[in-house]
Structure 1
Amino acid sequence: MSDGFTAPPPPSAPAPRTRPTTVTIAGILMLVVAVAALIYLIASVAALGDLSDGFEAAYEGTELADIAGVMAASTLIAGVVYLLFGIALAILTVFNNQGRNGSRIATWVVGGVGLCCGGVSLIGIALGDVTSGMGDTDDPNLPDTEEIVEIMAQYEPGWFAPLTTTSTVIGVLALAAGLLLLALPPSNEFFRKPEQQFQPPPGYPPVG
């Protein structure tokens, strides 16, 4: 028998937030950064032997001959560092797509460091200053920078510089665009913590 009291409907769950296009594209661009870094690393591994031979030939009989392998390995180390940045950004993208603002802040920090490193690398490539400073020693037998470049050109695979330069340019541009997209107003709205909705207690409002 009804006593005239109608139970209120159960509170509805808050509507899920819709991920804006800016965040989705930013995530895709972060994956592009990771792929570009992987390509750079693969190219460095493939050319490591040739680069090592080139440095050994360039510095043969000088005080730097013993560390020629280390110079070649520096390219490989740079590739590993780039790949670690790419992996970190890919992982953060998973949480960015869930609307976690903390991961977005971490993406800006990691991406900012990666952007600086990539920018410095591109500046060095643009200036053609890859081997600068290697001739600043007291060894009179050490070749000058032009000689080093000529010798390295004989050993370095023809595809190495274009491939690594292109992957670096793509990675830097994709990273810069992705970081910018995460700062646009639609992204800010998505990462903003939703306001708590008022949930009426059972029996509210009172009947009669």
Structure 2
Amino acid sequence: MTQPSPVRPITVTVSACLLSGAAILTVLDAASSLWNYYMWVDAYENAVADGAVASESFEGFGILSNHGFAVLQVAAACAMIVLARSNWRGRNSARTKTWWLGGVMLCCPTIDAAGSIAFRSAPRDPIQQRLQHMLPSWWAPTRLVLVLLLLIALALALVLLALPSANRFFRAFAPTPLPNPSGA
């Protein structure tokens, strides 16, 4: 007879939902980063056209770094969805991978939030001044709230997976040792 599967605790359910929400927020952050990049390019081109700054070639690096980071964010969001589903099913390996990916993902939004705050308080060069006028007034606070929500969702998901009720749930799915065929 098969054993009945253990009841999933609310901590695992909420953690999986938070991971899914964090994945959605990560995709939104990737899209907003790309939009912000293209706004910066427009501000740069306007500053060059007005003679406020010298023309320098940055497009190759800027496009590669911004688009590459956006692809990594979308890949991490997909991984979070897969891990949320695996955690939902009680896979202990998924829980440890969630802690690893979540720890890495906690660093990126933290740096992003610090950059957003620094951008608002930094002395303005001609490009930043143009960018500030081009972006809507709600842009910076909304992006900061998005990043903070992402941080909170990730941190809560990781903490919920570490609670004793979640630990019992994941240990219930631990493989039982096979009998030794030699009888020893």
The interval holding the TM-score normalised by the smaller chain is 0.7 to 0.9
Q: Which residue of 2 aligns with 1:24?
A: 13
How many residues align? The count is 174
Mapped to 2, the partners of 1:34 and 1:173 lie a distance apart of 13
Q: How does 1:73-84 map to 2 (within 5 A)?
A: 74-84=65-75
- Deviation for aligned residue 1:148: 3.3
* Residues 175 and 186 of structure 1, relative CA distance in 2, 3 Å threshold: same
TM-score (norm 2): 0.78
* Residues 58 and 68 of structure 1, relative CA distance in 2, 3 Å threshold: farther
| Aligned AA (1:53) | D
| Aligned AA (1:40) | D
1:53 corresponds to which of 3, 19, 42: 42
Query: Secondary structure of the residue that 1:66 maps to in structure 2?
Result: coil
Q: Do residues 102 (structure 1) and 96 (structure 2) align?
A: no
- Residue identity (%): 28
Q: Do residues 187 (structure 1) and 178 (structure 2) align?
A: no
Mapped to 2, the partners of 1:68 and 1:158 lie a distance apart of 26
5+ residue gaps, structure 2, are 178-184
Q: Given that residues 40 and 127 in structure 2 are in contact (C-alpha distance below 8 angstroms), is that contact kept between their aligned partners in structure 1?
A: no
Q: How does 1:53-202 map to 2 (within 5 A)?
A: 53-58=42-47, 62=53, 65-67=56-58, 70-71=61-62, 74-128=65-119, 145-192=124-171, 193-194=173-174, 196=176
Q: Which residue of 2 aligns with 1:136?
A: none
Q: Given that residues 19 and 190 in structure 1 are in contact (C-alpha distance below 8 angstroms), is that contact kept between their aligned partners in structure 2?
A: yes
5+ residue gaps, structure 1, are 1-11, 133-143, 198-208
* Residues 151 and 68 of structure 1, relative CA distance in 2, 3 Å threshold: farther
Q: Given that residues 44 and 75 in structure 1 are in contact (C-alpha distance below 8 angstroms), is that contact kept between their aligned partners in structure 2?
A: yes
| Bigger fraction of residues in helix | 2
